[in-house]
Amino acid sequence: MKPGTLYVVATPLGNLGDLSSRAIERLRAVPVVAAEDTRRTRGLLTHLGAAPTLLSFHAHSGDHRSDKLLDILRSGRDVALVSDAGTPTVSDPGADLISLVRAAGIAIVPIPGASAVSTALSASGFIGDRYLFLGFIPRKGRDRARLLTRAATEEWSVVFYEAPPRLAGLLADLMPLTGGSRRVVVARELTKLHEEIRGGTVAELANYYAETPVRGEITVVLEGTGAPPAEPDRSEDATEQATALLAEGLTRREVVRRLTESMGIPRNEAYKLVMELP
């Protein structure tokens, strides 16, 4: 029996008019839809006059649900994967399922459409030739600090998702890292009735949202620096490592080779550093 096809279907962020005719046709035709939130998706399907079997598939579904969907596909039935809004697997569940389906040799067909990332970026006024998408970053800890530092020094535009209660904190944390003068855009409730796209400096919007509570789904676009981040100074670490290797009795030639391999230092720089050591 020929297996079914997994369709990865983008759904509207809010405005139902953004749903493509191809997506409508497919959602009306498939016998099974795997949805992040069945209540939300049921409303969309009812609006379309579609009545497939609706299965819950979210970040905490577990392997049993992926196995069930794989069995459905193997039985010859098609499945449409949708998230609450926008494109599935972009800060939404589904990547593991798609990998599993691909490994089983079953066809995967994406049906593109809305994405909060590209929608916010298109309205930001910042260069979008290249960008860094960080999604929802950790609430605290070293990973948060690392990603915020990366964002603040990134050459290209950076896109975040953020929850309303944490928006002011995100902008406040970006203040000292960007100097406060970098431009930023906060896009809220994109394509919906209360859509708001507000731009300004990090300092201006940090102050504004510290005093102004917000609701809804939020996408933040931070302007890039426009220049590559400075290369870290590795000379001190390289000198320390070279000194230790020489003390072990390695030849200078071997030390040069080790430095180029372990630290990625160009050979001419490593050679000069080693030869200048006593």
- CB-based burial of residue 34 (10 Å sphere; 0-12 exposed, 13-18 middle, 19+ buried)? buried
pLDDT of residue 255: 87
Structure tokens at 166: 């944490």
Q: Which two tokens stand for residue 129?
A: 């030739």
Between residues 246 and 82, the one the model is more confident about: 82
- For residue 160, the Cα-to-chain-centroid distance in whole angstroms is 8
Phi/psi at 203 (5° precision):
-65, -45
Contact between 79 and 7 under an 8 Å Cβ cutoff? The reply is yes
Residue 186 vs residues 6, 91, 96, 120, 247: alpha-carbon distances, Å: 34, 18, 30, 8, 56
Give the long-range contacts of residues 169-173, CB within 8 A, separation 24 or more.
Answer: 170/137, 170/220, 171/202, 171/205, 171/206, 171/209, 171/220, 172/206, 172/210, 173/144, 173/148
Q: Is the pLDDT of residue 250 over 90?
A: no
Residue among 118, 48, 58, 133 at smallest CA distance from 88: 58
Condensed to tens digits (0 to 9), the pLDDT of residues 203-230 reads: 999 999 999 999 999 999 999 999 887 6
Q: Write down the pLDDT at residue 277.
A: 86
CA–CA distance, 28 with 65 (Å, rounded to integer): 22
Is the predicted pLDDT of residue 234 greater than 70, yes or no?
Answer: no
**Confidence (pTM):** 0.81
pLDDT in tens, 73-99: 999 999 999 999 999 998 888 999 999
Cα 228 to its chain centre, rounded Å, is: 21
Q: Contact at 8 Å (CB) between 131 and 222?
A: no
Determine the pLDDT at residue 231: 65
